[in-house]
Chains A and B, each alone.
Chain A
Amino acid sequence: MSAESPAIPAAEHSDLHDRPATGETILEVADLVKHFPIRGGIAKRQVGSVKAVDGISFDLKAGETLGLVGESGCGKSTTGRSIIRLLDPTSGSVKFKGHEMATLPRRQVRDFRREVQIVFQDPYASLNPRLTVRNIVGEPMKIFTDLSTKARRERVSDLLARVGLSPEHGNRFPHEFSGGQRQRIGIARALALNPQMLVLDEPVSALDVSIQAQVVNLLAELQDEFGLAYLFIAHDLSVIRHICDRVAVMYLGKIVEIGERKQIFRNPTHPYTQALLSAVPVPDPRKRGARKRIVLTGDVPSPANPPSGCRFRTRCWKAEDKCAAEEPLLEPRGFDHPSACHFAEADPVLEGTVPDR
């Protein structure tokens, strides 16, 4: 298996299938919104909406990993699913290699689906329990290509070997595998069509640490080998730091800060990012108390009814009147990366722990 000789013939040539050069922007998301209706009353009329994703923008380059991090319910999965069109966005634009998804002809939507694949968090729920591993991994090829049965078989064996499983594993069913192995199966399936981009929705969150490290290393190798772009969704900032080139921090349906890994971890400017970095336990007892402690009060408000102005203001220790009145936009504000805080200021929360290289 190699990136230069993709085993998958394109049914028809489409520039969506052209391998991009590293560094070329392949995904552009602008003002993406996804609201879920809340229905109530006897008539089941819409009485409100969950503003799961409420106007986010970012782009992703070929070969790059962008981390999407934030706490439960902030809209990470909804973002990922809206991008690959598992959900219909309420509004906004998603462009893949310059093509606007909302207006893409049906045939090209198929092309897009081949190029952008997803791996889910829950290795138990995301694999069809009635199919053998061979059929699970081979299914996308059956749907999207006219490869012969023999060619598919060979490719499945290659893929299984590549993710660290043996060909004999192909004849078994998902329930016979551990969580880490199932995640490898999900990754093999996602790679089957030789895609350009993967949406990885918490691919290692359910795994024990030793297995998590195996899968993290595997993902890094595959990225190098195939020049994949990753949208890596996680709530674990340590994993994000290890794997991502750039990081977007989400809170209640918005991106509050985005930047290169170093910018986010060394010089966070948004209070929420700072609070997150101060809250994650560091596995070194000698660094106890070396960090500034920011303990937020209260819980995350409901996305059905987000606070006015800055959504973080109900938990922010710096909030002032302006924060309730005016929504802070995601802008540079004099720093090297944008922040959605009226009073953004650099605070190297992690200083005092070992500096990075």
Chain B
Amino acid sequence: MTEPILSIRDLVTEFATPDGTVHAVDHVSYDVYPGETLGVVGESGSGKSVTVMSVLGLIPQPPGKISNGEILFEGRDLLRLSNAQLRKVRGKDIGMVFQDPMTSLNPVLKVGHQIAEAMQVHADVPDDKARLRTIELLELVGVPNAEARYDQYPHEYSGGMRQRGMIAMAIANEPKLLIADEPTTALDVTIQAQVLEVLSKAKEETNAATILITHDLGLIAEMADRVVVMYGGRVVETGDVDTIFHEPRHPYTLGLISSLPRLDQDLERLVPIEGQPPSLINLPSGCAFHPRCHLGQGRERCRTESPPLVEVGTAHRSACHFTDEMGREIALIESEMGTAIEGVDQ
């Protein structure tokens, strides 16, 4: 297999708060390979954003602190770069798209201007060339009347259009890695569909590896090649997208799937995960999922021993002591839902 373009190793990111230390990212490791789309999924507060914020050097310190790990981007440890060096990587080799475009678009500058400037910061591009290239980019991402829109301010754009503007900015320097954190969460579905099409097109154009962070399993199923599932600041399962959806080997992943109402079929019943997500200040002992886990049933080992993320199949890892019982567990849940998860025909 080719070398990963990004390799997160044993990352620990914490925040000091009045209530105690928030263990937002707790020994997280994952890889991103050139050209692939890696989906990162998990409920809110599971550490998805803090992980990539750590990659981008955007953790406010204090209260934040990266206390362990390596983030290898093309072999270089980003955690060892100076701020100036990091700024050169960010926005050039790594592009970013966030949920709220207003956090990365400056409200008092014209959109076109901001995109052009993003190019000029990283390369010696004359103004007229930067303008032309920006208009091309705006056209690529489907902003209508790109020339006129160049001179408008972010508030003059609709939500979907701002998101496109941000994608245009993110790909302006043909990054090798694109990080998209809930890029369509704030959008209506028909607008989401437009923006996703633009993202796919941008990806084709640049062949950038992409990290797509979302809480929407539907988006993951449509867009991702491989998937990382996070829970309580940890990675609990990784595998290719088909495996994750049809042969999950972690009870939490299964719980996410069985909680989902489906557009494409009638289910007898949703099978939710009991209880609530954990507090990252006071993570449960052993396996952090144990208070909610149907498979664990409060077994001693689940309560006392933190399960390591281990190989359970080809390029498939899970952090559960009882993965060998997952087949039976899936069958049980399937009968409650009234639909098949495992072994559905291709």
Residues in A lying within 8 Å of B, measured CB to CB: 71-72, 178, 180-181, 208-214, 216-217, 235-239, 241-243, 265, 275-288, 293, 295-300, 315, 350, 353-357
Which residues of the partner chain A approach B259 to less than 8 Å between Cβ atoms? 209-210, 212-213
Give the residue of A236, A295, A356 whose beta carbon is less than 8 angstroms from that of B265: A356
Given A209-B43, A283-B221, A298-B144, residue A214 in contact with residue B265 (CB < 8 A): no
Closest approach, in angstroms, between the C-beta of B52 and any C-beta of chain A? Answer: 19
Question: What is the CA–CA distance of A310 and B39 in the complex, to the nearest angstrom?
Answer: 39
Please tell me if the beta carbons of A214 and B272 are within 8 angstroms of each other in the complex. yes
Which residues of the partner chain A approach B224 to less than 8 Å between Cβ atoms? 285
B191 located at the interface, meaning its Cβ lies under 8 Å from any Cβ of chain A in the complex: yes
Question: What is the CA–CA distance of A241 and B267 in the complex, to the nearest angstrom?
Answer: 9
Please tell me if the beta carbons of B263 and A238 are within 8 angstroms of each other in the complex. yes
Question: What is the CA–CA distance of A259 and B43 in the complex, to the nearest angstrom?
Answer: 34
Closest approach, in angstroms, between the C-beta of A297 and any C-beta of chain B? Answer: 8
Which residues of the partner chain B approach A241 to less than 8 Å between Cβ atoms? 261-263, 266
A-B contact pairs, 16 of them (CB 8 A): A71-B189, A213-B258, A216-B270, A237-B189, A242-B262, A276-B190, A279-B193, A280-B218, A280-B263, A281-B218, A283-B221, A283-B260, A287-B264, A288-B222, A298-B144, A299-B158
Closest approach, in angstroms, between the C-beta of B183 and any C-beta of chain A? Answer: 13
Question: With contacts A178-B276, A282-B221 known, what are 16 further pairs, Cβ within 8 A?
Answer: A208-B43, A209-B43, A209-B215, A210-B256, A211-B276, A213-B271, A214-B272, A235-B188, A279-B192, A283-B217, A284-B221, A285-B241, A293-B193, A295-B190, A296-B193, A353-B264
Please tell me if the beta carbons of B222 and A281 are within 8 angstroms of each other in the complex. yes
Closest approach, in angstroms, between the C-beta of B292 and any C-beta of chain A? Answer: 8
Please tell me if the beta carbons of A282 and B256 are within 8 angstroms of each other in the complex. no
Give the residue of B44, B191, B217, B242 whose beta carbon is less than 8 angstroms from that of A299: B191
Given A283-B260, A288-B222, residue A217 in contact with residue B269 (CB < 8 A): yes
Q: Considering only CB atoms, which chain B residue lies closest to A272 in the complex? A: B190
Give the residue of A71, A208, A299, A300 whose beta carbon is less than 8 angstroms from that of B215: A208
Q: How many B residues, CB 8 Å from partner?
A: 51
Residues in B lying within 8 Å of A, measured CB to CB: 43-44, 144, 158, 160-161, 188-194, 197, 215-222, 224, 241-242, 245-246, 255-267, 269-274, 276-277, 339, 344, 346
Question: What is the CA–CA distance of A298 and B143 in the complex, to the nearest angstrom?
Answer: 9
Please tell me if the beta carbons of A286 and B344 are within 8 angstroms of each other in the complex. yes
Q: Considering only CB atoms, which chain A residue lies closest to B241 in the complex? A: A285
Please tell me if the beta carbons of A282 and B264 are within 8 angstroms of each other in the complex. yes
Which residues of the partner chain B approach A285 to less than 8 Å between Cβ atoms? 221-222, 224, 241-242, 245
Question: What is the CA–CA distance of A354 and B43 in the complex, to the nearest angstrom?
Answer: 27
Please tell me if the beta carbons of B256 and A286 are within 8 angstroms of each other in the complex. no
Give the residue of A71, A212, A283 whose beta carbon is less than 8 angstroms from that of B262: A283
- Most chain-A Cβ atoms within 10 A of its Cβ — which of B197, B217, B276, B346? B276
Please tell me if the beta carbons of A213 and B272 are within 8 angstroms of each other in the complex. yes
Closest approach, in angstroms, between the C-beta of B261 and any C-beta of chain A? Answer: 4
Which residues of the partner chain B approach A315 to less than 8 Å between Cβ atoms? 190
Question: What is the CA–CA distance of A335 and B246 in the complex, to the nearest angstrom?
Answer: 37
Question: What is the CA–CA distance of A241 and B272 in the complex, to the nearest angstrom?
Answer: 17
Which residues of the partner chain A approach B218 to less than 8 Å between Cβ atoms? 238, 280-283
Question: What is the CA–CA distance of A35 and B305 in the complex, to the nearest angstrom?
Answer: 61
- Would you list the 4 A-B pairs with minimal beta carbon distance, nearest first? A281-B218, A213-B272, A353-B264, A242-B261
- Most chain-A Cβ atoms within 10 A of its Cβ — which of B188, B190, B241? B190
Closest approach, in angstroms, between the C-beta of A270 and any C-beta of chain B? Answer: 13
Please tell me if the beta carbons of B264 and A210 are within 8 angstroms of each other in the complex. no
Which residues of the partner chain A approach B219 to less than 8 Å between Cβ atoms? 281
Please tell me if the beta carbons of B263 and A350 are within 8 angstroms of each other in the complex. yes
Question: What is the CA–CA distance of A178 and B278 in the complex, to the nearest angstrom?
Answer: 11
Given A283-B262, A285-B241, A286-B346, residue A275 in contact with residue B271 (CB < 8 A): no
Which residues of the partner chain B approach A357 to less than 8 Å between Cβ atoms? 266
Which residues of the partner chain B approach A282 to less than 8 Å between Cβ atoms? 218, 221-222, 262-264
- Most chain-B Cβ atoms within 10 A of its Cβ — which of A213, A236, A280, A300? A213
Given A281-B219, A283-B257, residue A242 in contact with residue B197 (CB < 8 A): no
Please tell me if the beta carbons of B194 and A295 are within 8 angstroms of each other in the complex. yes
Which residues of the partner chain A approach B242 to less than 8 Å between Cβ atoms? 285-286
Please tell me if the beta carbons of B144 and A279 are within 8 angstroms of each other in the complex. no
Please tell me if the beta carbons of A237 and B277 are within 8 angstroms of each other in the complex. no
Question: What is the CA–CA distance of A180 and B255 in the complex, to the nearest angstrom?
Answer: 17
Which residues of the partner chain B approach A217 to less than 8 Å between Cβ atoms? 269-270, 272
Please tell me if the beta carbons of A71 and B266 are within 8 angstroms of each other in the complex. no
Question: What is the CA–CA distance of A157 and B190 in the complex, to the nearest angstrom?
Answer: 44
Which residues of the partner chain A approach B216 to less than 8 Å between Cβ atoms? 281
Question: What is the CA–CA distance of A148 and B197 in the complex, to the nearest angstrom?
Answer: 60
Closest approach, in angstroms, between the C-beta of A285 and any C-beta of chain B? Answer: 5
Closest approach, in angstroms, between the C-beta of A2 and any C-beta of chain B? Answer: 23
Which residues of the partner chain A approach B346 to less than 8 Å between Cβ atoms? 286
Q: Considering only CB atoms, which chain B residue lies closest to A210 in the complex? A: B273
Question: What is the CA–CA distance of A340 and B276 in the complex, to the nearest angstrom?
Answer: 43
- Most chain-A Cβ atoms within 10 A of its Cβ — which of B44, B221, B346? B221
Given A216-B270, A283-B257, A285-B245, residue A209 in contact with residue B264 (CB < 8 A): no
Closest approach, in angstroms, between the C-beta of B332 and any C-beta of chain A? Answer: 16
Please tell me if the beta carbons of B241 and A72 are within 8 angstroms of each other in the complex. no
Please tell me if the beta carbons of A356 and B266 are within 8 angstroms of each other in the complex. yes
Question: What is the CA–CA distance of A318 and B279 in the complex, to the nearest angstrom?
Answer: 51
Question: What is the CA–CA distance of A237 and B224 in the complex, to the nearest angstrom?
Answer: 22
Closest approach, in angstroms, between the C-beta of B41 and any C-beta of chain A? Answer: 10
Question: What is the CA–CA distance of A276 and B265 in the complex, to the nearest angstrom?
Answer: 16
Question: What is the CA–CA distance of A235 and B216 in the complex, to the nearest angstrom?
Answer: 14
Please tell me if the beta carbons of A208 and B266 are within 8 angstroms of each other in the complex. no
Give the residue of B246, B270, B271, B273 whose beta carbon is less than 8 angstroms from that of A242: B270
Please tell me if the beta carbons of A209 and B263 are within 8 angstroms of each other in the complex. no
Give the residue of B44, B189, B191 whose beta carbon is less than 8 angstroms from that of A208: B44
Closest approach, in angstroms, between the C-beta of B187 and any C-beta of chain A? Answer: 9
Which residues of the partner chain A approach B256 to less than 8 Å between Cβ atoms? 209-210
Q: Considering only CB atoms, which chain B residue lies closest to A262 in the complex? A: B266
Question: What is the CA–CA distance of A272 and B271 in the complex, to the nearest angstrom?
Answer: 31
Question: What is the CA–CA distance of A211 and B215 in the complex, to the nearest angstrom?
Answer: 13
Given A71-B189, A238-B262, A285-B245, residue A213 in contact with residue B270 (CB < 8 A): yes
Question: What is the CA–CA distance of A235 and B221 in the complex, to the nearest angstrom?
Answer: 20
Which residues of the partner chain B approach A211 to less than 8 Å between Cβ atoms? 272, 276
Please tell me if the beta carbons of A71 and B190 are within 8 angstroms of each other in the complex. yes
Given A71-B188, A280-B189, A285-B221, residue A213 in contact with residue B260 (CB < 8 A): yes
